[in-house]
């Protein structure tokens, strides 16, 4: 089932694969092996493939030579710090869309974001066509305004009235005129649906910003889709057994920021243990 194979000519018997196996699925005989009774415990994380120093190990039919080498591959601490501090919530976008091939490439990379117990149940639903986005923007805005006109906004969401007042005046408060939308969803019975979706979206945001793409966490749309117009999920084709956790609008920014901001440090305390 796991297609676990070891090239004995390359294997140096370092035992790193067995030591790094989370559930102890791999054991050492003369060479690493997975007993048949342990196969069902494998969570398919591929740590064994990644940790093998000689590319001797294959699992799930993966060729280790097709994986990217990690030597000297990570950004410097300084460049990573600047990316984290320099990303801004973008609310001004150019009308043109981002190259669909680039978007899908970014999403392929984002699929490497970690999930609890490697369940990988997060689904990212994308609108990559600016024309379709304009159509969706109009439909969602009108549906939300209709809820407001009928006085059906729940008391706990009364703050939405202020945003929808702007929409009624012709401002795109919900989507900020962004040409694209990304929605993260997951089944509620997943081990950690909220964290899984937010981690994936955070990965996408930083990766998109590194390519010069602007992003904004779209909490207003999430509230509209989950609290005002729940049929939006079906409109997007989000699986019925999923909950919408978060959303992000993105596109080519029509604004350029030249420096980081200077925020006070967060509340940090040393645990007394």
What confidence category does residue 273 fall into, taking pLDDT thresholds of 50, 70 and 90?
A: confident
Rounded distance, CA 126 to CA 104, Å?
Answer: 9
The topology (CATH level 3) of 77-251 is NADH Oxidase (3.40.109)
Give the residue extent of every domain in the chain.
5-66, 77-251
182 neighbors 128 (Cβ within 8 angstroms): no
Domain 5-66 top-level CATH class: alpha beta
DSSP 15: -
Does residue 11 register a pLDDT over 90? yes
Q: By C-alpha distance, which of 253, 133, 255 is closest to 182? A: 133
The β-bridge partners of 217 are 248
The β-bridge partners of 121 are none
Q: Which tens digits make up the pLDDT trace of 213-272?
A: 999 999 999 999 999 999 999 999 999 999 999 999 999 999 999 999 998 877 888 899
In 66-129, where does DSSP find H-type helix? 77-86, 100-110
Same fold, 5-66 and 77-251: no
54 neighbors 214 (Cβ within 8 angstroms): no
Q: By C-alpha distance, which of 151, 192, 144, 205 is closest to 172? A: 144
Q: Which tens digits make up the pLDDT trace of 49-99?
A: 999 999 999 999 999 999 999 999 999 999 999 999 999 999 999 999 999
Rounded distance, CA 174 to CA 163, Å?
Answer: 8
DSSP 253: B
* Distances, alpha carbon 202 to alpha carbons 65, 107, 183, 196, 198, in Å: 29, 12, 12, 10, 6
Arithmetic mean of pLDDT, 183-199: 97
- Give this prediction's pTM: 0.92
């Amino acid at each position: 089932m796991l297609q676990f194979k070891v090239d004995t000519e390359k294997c140096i018997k370092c035992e790193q694969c067995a030591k790094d196996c989370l559930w102890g699925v791999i054991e050492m005989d003369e060479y690493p092996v997975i007993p048949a009774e342990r196969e069902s415990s494998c969570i398919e994380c591929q740590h064994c493939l990644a940790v093998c120093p000689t590319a001797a190990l294959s699992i799930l039919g993966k060729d280790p030579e097709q994986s990217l080498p990690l030597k000297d591959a990570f950004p410097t601490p300084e460049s990573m710090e600047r990316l984290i501090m320099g990303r801004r919530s973008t609310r001004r976008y150019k009308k043109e869309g981002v190259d669909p091939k680039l978007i899908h490439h970014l999403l392929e990379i984002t699929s490497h974001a970690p999930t609890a117990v490697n369940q990988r149940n997060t689904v990212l639903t994308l609108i990559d066509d600016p024309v379709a986005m304009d159509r969706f923007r109009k439909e969602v805005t009108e549906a939300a305004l209709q809820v407001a006109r009928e006085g059906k906004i729940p008391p706990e969401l009364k703050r939405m009235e202020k945003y929808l007042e702007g929409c009624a005046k012709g401002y795109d408060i919900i989507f900020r005129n962004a040409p694209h939308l990304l929605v993260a969803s997951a089944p509620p019975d997943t081990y950690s649906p909220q964290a899984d979706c937010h981690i994936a979206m955070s990965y996408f945001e930083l990766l998109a910003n590194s390519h010069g793409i602007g992003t904004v966490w779209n909490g207003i749309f999430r509230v509209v889709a989950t609290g005002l117009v729940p049929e939006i999920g079906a409109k997007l084709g989000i699986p019925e057994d999923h909950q919408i956790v978060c959303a992000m609008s993105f596109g080519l920014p029509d604004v350029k920021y030249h420096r980081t901001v200077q925020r006070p440090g967060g509340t940090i305390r040393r645990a007394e243990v």
